[in-house]
Every structure is written in C-alpha cells, then in structure tokens.
C-alpha cells in the first residue's frame, strides 16, 4: 500500500531488542491503524515519507515505536481528542473514528502508553511505548 501511494519509508530499528510478551495480533492492529492514518494524512502531499523507529527507551523498561509522517499534522485543537471514540477529521466514508480509540485501549491493556506530537516535518508522530514486562501475561 505504501509504494502504491508513492510513500517512501525509512525504517530504523535498534538491533538486539528483546522478545516481548504481548498479543501480536492486537499490536499489529495498532500498527495498522497508525500507518493507515498516516497514509490518509499524506494523500495530496508533495513529499510523502513515513519513518518508523523502534528502540529501547532511555530507562530500558520500554520498547518504543515511533511513526512519523509528512502529512499536514494534527491541529492543536484536535490533539486532546484524537483517542476519543468516534472522533475523526476524515469524512464519514473514510473513517469511523474508532481506530485510534481502539489502539489506545490495546496499548493500555498491555500496560503501555500512546500519544501523538507534531514533528519536524510539520506532520504527526505517534509514539507507542510497550513495557518489557507486559501486563498481558
């Protein structure tokens, strides 16, 4: 899907990250939701880049996944609502407003954290931190 939409990907990962005890299918759903939103956000942008970084946090208690895009970013007035159920900036045909809400719940169930910030490209960056000792055990 990324290549079809003309999106360049930059993937940076820290070698030697430990295996983590989490529900793989649910975490894949979170990743899918974030990447799908990034693809939609970059539609119509001249430069389309998705950067994905995986690394250990400084405290070494969490694995961090960072997804950064070159879309238009998230309006500051929307930032506090993006994880609310049914909140969407897309028209009703494109989205239900449930993807990030579901993602938030999944990450919470794993004892992790998820949030978004504006990035240096003017787009959005989504941060997911999952504890090495998952609460899903």
Could you give all domains of the chain from N- to C-terminal order, each with its CATH number?
21-131 (3.30.565.10)
Instruction: Let me know if 28 is exposed, middle or buried by CB neighbors in 10 A (0-12, 13-18, 19+).
Output: exposed
Q: What percent of the chain has pLDDT over 70?
A: 93
Q: What average pLDDT does this structure show over 49-66?
A: 94
Q: What average pLDDT does this structure show over 55-74?
A: 93
Q: What average pLDDT does this structure show over 110-118?
A: 95
Q: Which range among 8-22, 79-93, 103-117 shows the weakest confidence by mean pLDDT?
A: 79-93
Output the average pLDDT for the chain.
90
Alpha carbon distance 57, 54 (integer Å): 9
Q: What average pLDDT does this structure show over 107-132?
A: 94
β strands within the chain, DSSP E? 8-13, 49-56, 62-69, 113-118, 124-131
Total-model pTM: 0.89
Give the rounded distance of the alpha carbon of 134 from its chain centre.
19
Q: What average pLDDT does this structure show over 95-114?
A: 92
Instruction: Let me know if 20 is exposed, middle or buried by CB neighbors in 10 A (0-12, 13-18, 19+).
Output: middle
- Residue 6 in contact with residue 48, Cβ under 8 Å? yes
Q: Are strands 113-118 and 49-56 parallel, antiparallel or unpaired?
A: unpaired
């Amino acid at each position: 899907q990324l290549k079809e939409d003309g999106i360049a990907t930059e993937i940076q990962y820290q070698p030697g990250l430990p295996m983590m005890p989490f529900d793989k299918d649910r975490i894949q759903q979170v990743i899918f939701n974030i990447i799908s939103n990034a693809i939609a956000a970059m539609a119509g942008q001249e430069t389309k880049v998705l950067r994905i970084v995986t690394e250990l946090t400084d405290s070494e208690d969490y694995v961090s996944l960072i997804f950064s895009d070159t879309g238009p970013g998230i309006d500051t007035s929307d930032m506090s609502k993006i994880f609310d159920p049914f909140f969407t900036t897309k028209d009703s045909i494109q989205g239900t407003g449930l993807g990030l809400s579901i993602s938030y719940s999944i990450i919470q169930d794993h004892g992790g954290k998820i949030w978004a910030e504006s990035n240096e490209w003017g787009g959005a960056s989504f941060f997911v931190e999952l504890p090495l000792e998952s609460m899903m055990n």
